[in-house]
């Protein structure tokens, strides 16, 4: 393990940039964007939509920082030079403190929306932290993704006036997208994970079966978002299906070394596009 004294002394901008990267910036921004788009689609008032965005952003930052804090030894062992801790820009202690602060912000802002939406949004945070803390090493590794991303739309919709319940198809689509994201997220790091004793469900069943399952979940989520709302799908719904096709193909190829690093960005991009098209199509989610 790299000692505290071995860490370089970068400037404030370098530290801020490293902290941003340590949140796992792309998925953090994607999940936050999806939450805000869902809030707009659910007619959540502007001020409460801001609270939703801050709560989800803080929660995702906490999950990312916790991951890099707890995985510091493992990342050093396998030479993950893309990680700020390995680069000597951040210390595990700093990430630990940042995690605690971000969790506090997530709790306060989530509960400011009310008990029901707040607790539902915090299910996502708790699920991510549980994954970081050890569930990713077990056969239950998909569970935090399924529960967390199923709870996210439920929490956002519950923040609307009157505290409505989210439709079943929206919750199911969130859970399916979470499952697909888990498979795609694991794919690039399979070898490093196995070398350091991380054996989640995708590691146990194999790369190819996992990739196929992820592709099915990704395609199924899009179909739920298109066919779930009342009435026949409109033009934007069929456009979502068309956009899903190449992303599903990429996800299915996540078991091959060449496509491993493309699957996760494809899942993130399709998720944001699906929700944006859902909003543009005016589907009722409350």
Spatial distance between the Cα atoms of 89 and 1, rounded to a whole number of angstroms? 14
Name the strand (E) or helix (H) holding 1.
none
Least confident span in 13-27, 42-56, 59-73, 239-253: 239-253
Average pLDDT, the chain: 92
Q: What is the mean pLDDT of residues 98-117?
A: 99
Instruction: Give the pLDDT band of residue 8 (cuts 50, 70, 90).
Output: low
E-strand stretches of 179-232:
none
Write down the residue that tokens 């298109």 correspond to: 226
Both structure tokens of 90 = 């951040």
Flag whether pLDDT at 243 surpasses 50.
Answer: yes
* 92 vs 10, more confident: 92
Same fold for the pair 8-138 and 167-286? no
Flag whether pLDDT at 127 surpasses 80.
Answer: yes
Name, in order, each residue with C-beta under 8 angstroms of 44's C-beta and a sequence gap of 6 or more.
52, 156, 159, 160, 161
Per-residue pLDDT at 5: 39
* Structural domain boundaries in the chain: 8-138, 167-286
Both structure tokens of 276 = 């944006």
Instruction: Give the pLDDT band of residue 154 (cuts 50, 70, 90).
Output: very high
Flag whether pLDDT at 84 surpasses 90.
Answer: yes
pLDDT digits (tens, 9 = 90+) for 20-64: 999 999 999 999 999 999 999 999 999 999 999 999 999 999 999
144, 127 Cβ separation under 8 angstroms: yes
Q: Is 191 exposed, middle or buried (0-12, 13-18, 19+ CB in 10 A)?
A: exposed
Flag whether pLDDT at 2 surpasses 80.
Answer: no
Q: CA dihedral in degrees (176, 179, 184, 190; nearest 10)?
A: -160
Flag whether pLDDT at 6 surpasses 70.
Answer: no
* CATH T-level fold of 167-286: 1.20.120
If one looks up domain 8-138 in CATH, what number appears?
1.10.357
Q: What is the mean pLDDT of residues 88-117?
A: 98
pTM: 0.92
């Amino acid at each position: 393990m790299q000692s505290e004294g071995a860490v370089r002394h970068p400037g404030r901008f370098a530290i801020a940039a490293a902290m941003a990267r340590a949140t796992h910036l792309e998925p953090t921004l994607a999940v936050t964007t999806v939450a805000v788009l869902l809030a707009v689609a659910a007619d959540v008032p502007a001020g409460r939509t801001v609270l939703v965005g801050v709560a989800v952003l803080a929660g995702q930052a906490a999950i990312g920082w916790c991951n890099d804090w707890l995985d510091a030894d493992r990342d050093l062992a396998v030479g993950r030079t893309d990680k700020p801790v390995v680069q000597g820009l951040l210390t595990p202690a700093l990430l630990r403190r940042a995690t605690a602060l971000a969790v506090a912000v997530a709790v306060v802002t989530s509960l400011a929306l009310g008990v029901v939406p707040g607790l539902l949004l915090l299910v996502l945070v708790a699920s991510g932290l549980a994954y970081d803390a050890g569930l990713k090493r077990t056969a239950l590794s998909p569970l935090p993704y399924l529960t967390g991303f199923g709870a996210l739309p439920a929490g956002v919709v519950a923040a609307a006036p009157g505290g409505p319940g989210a439709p079943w198809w929206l919750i199911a689509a969130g859970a399916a997208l979470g499952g697909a994201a888990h498979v795609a997220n694991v794919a690039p790091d399979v070898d490093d994970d196995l070398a350091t004793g991380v054996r989640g469900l995708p590691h146990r069943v194999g790369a190819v079966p996992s990739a196929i399952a992820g592709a099915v979940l990704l395609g199924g989520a899009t179909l739920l978002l298109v066919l779930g709302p009342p009435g026949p799908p409109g033009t934007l719904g069929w456009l979502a299906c068309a956009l899903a096709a190449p992303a599903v193909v990429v996800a299915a190829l996540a078991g091959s070394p060449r496509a491993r690093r493309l699957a996760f960005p494809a899942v993130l991009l399709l998720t944001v596009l699906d929700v944006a098209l859902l909003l543009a199509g005016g589907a009722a989610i409350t």
